[in-house]
Structures are given as C-alpha cells and as structure tokens.
Amino acid sequence: MNMLRQEIETGIHIRPDEYPFFIADAYFHTSEEIMDEFCSNGFEIINYHAVEGSIWITPGLDKKWQDPDSRNRMLYILMQPNMKNP
C-alpha cells in the first residue's frame, strides 16, 4: 500500500527488491502534470477516464474483490484525491 501511495502522490515508482521482474524504476505523470502537458500543447480537457489503474496487477484480484475489506482498500487506492478537476 505504501508503494502505491507514493506512486499516486509523486508519480515515482521504485521497484521493490523482492520483485526483480516487476516494472523497473519509473516515473509516471501525476494527474495534474498530464493535464498541464495536454493543455499547454493546445488540447482541451473534456472528460476524465482512467487509462490504466494500479489494481489490475493485484495477485488474486478476483478472490480479493470478493472480500469486502480487500475491495474497500482497492477502491480507496483508486479514488485517491490526486485526480483534481481543473
């Protein structure tokens, strides 16, 4: 959860040592950065849609989705206030 929180808040992904085959260290645009980049290049923001979320890679997703506590944690991650309307 801390890794996801850091990625949502900063856009920085640092691969944990225990997952050597997981995505390499990376930087992801925050919601504000990607909106600024689009707008500064002449595009208008009309709607917001998730391109890829952080939940799809959850091991045992189907089983965890059936557990109310696990589902609530995943929904909490997805609904972080990083996505602000301009």
pLDDT 10s per residue in the chain (86 long)? 677 777 777 878 888 888 788 778 888 777 788 889 999 999 998 887 766 666 777 788 899 999 999 999 888 877 766 544 44
Domain boundaries, the chain: 2-78
28/6 Cα distance (integer angstroms): 11
The pLDDT value recorded for residue 53 is: 67
33/12 Cα distance (integer angstroms): 13
* Long-range CB contacts (within 8 A, 24+) of 39-43: 39/86
